[in-house]
Amino acid sequence: MTQQDRDIVITEVALRDGSHAISHQYTTEQVINVTKALDEANVPYIEVSHGDGLAGSSLQYGLSLTNEMELIEAAVSVCKQSKIGVLLLPGIGTIKDLNEAANLGVRMARIATHVTEADVSAQHIARAKELGLVTVGFLMMSHMAPVKTLVEQAKLMESYGADTVYVVDSAGAMLPYQVKERIQALKQTLGINIGFHGHNNLSLAMANTLAAIEEGATWIDGSVRCLGAGAGNTQTEVLVSVMDRLKIKTGIDVYKMMDLAENIVAPILNAPQEINRDSLVLGYAGVYSSFLLHARRAAQRFGLDSRDILVELGERKVVGGQEDMIVDIAAEIASKRSKVASS
């Protein structure tokens, strides 16, 4: 089945967003096994990279067990029909990283910025187009901007050459009506594909994904077993089952997705993806989902409740890329409490 024959084009993000859930400890063998199974299930695009995109492996964002270029090369080598994609955040990943990934056989690049900072994506989107890649603009934390601003930023990405622009609910904070109004506004304004990427921190990933599809989004992200930051993403094997029930064509084999989720991906998880108090606070406070593990570590270090750290991050409107502030804020909270206790 070609891309044109699908009503919905699904990108599997377990090997990128899911990296957050296992502290970026993917092995080459795991990536090969998951990719082969996804390829056999006819998933069109599979995203592979550090959770924070190309070159994300660092003390600030979390060190990868395996060099991501090795993982990308391994994934490409076992694909017979699926295409491998990467995520790049300008300021973390560079044009050099994008070139290297393309040389390894990557066929899609998703250029991600904060929802109000699309202007930093111009050269990266342009280069991805020059390399002949399917090029996606990825507007993270889309809940933090008014609809009008989101449209303006999406139009910038379209003008730079993006084939598709995504509404990205990085915090899992959106409600279905908010997804609908954003997708509807982009659909009325842009001449390119509209996509949606959800997180499940408020247990709304599937509902929000369906709302996006109802309003005309045709590029949708999913993650097997919900494997992703926070409480995870829209669960791919469930999504394709729902699409099948709705007679919406994805081209993906439902049974094979069920089997790979159960037999290959589930054993990788340290614990099942679930909505616990920390991930719930992410959605409640509107905080970037990848902050969860960092907040837990800071809370343990300073003897705090991680929820207090996450709520404070939300009040300060901290965005992706500012992970280094988590420790500073935790230290500040602990210091204030110590002063109060001693007074």
Burial of 260 (0-12, 13-18, 19+ CB in 10 A): buried
Annotated binding-site residue numbers: 16-17, 170, 197, 199, 288
Three-state secondary-structure class, residue 319: coil
Catalytic pick among 20, 50, 124, 143: 20
Residue 203 zone, left/alpha/beta (φ > 0; ψ -120 to 50; rest): left
Annotated binding-site residue numbers for substrate: 16-17, 170, 197, 288
Q: Please give the Cα distance from 307 to 55 (Å, whole number).
A: 29
- H/E run at residue 11: strand 9-12
Contacts of residue 168, defined as CB under 8 A and 6 or more positions apart, other chains included, come to: 112, 115, 138, 139, 140, 141, 142, 196, 197
Active site residue 124: no
- H/E run at residue 317: none
Burial of 329 (0-12, 13-18, 19+ CB in 10 A): buried
Please state, as a whole number, how many other Cβ atoms lie within 10 Å of the Cβ of residue 141: 22
Cβ pair 301, 283 in contact under 8 A: no
8-state DSSP, 325: H
Q: Residues with catalytic annotation?
A: 20
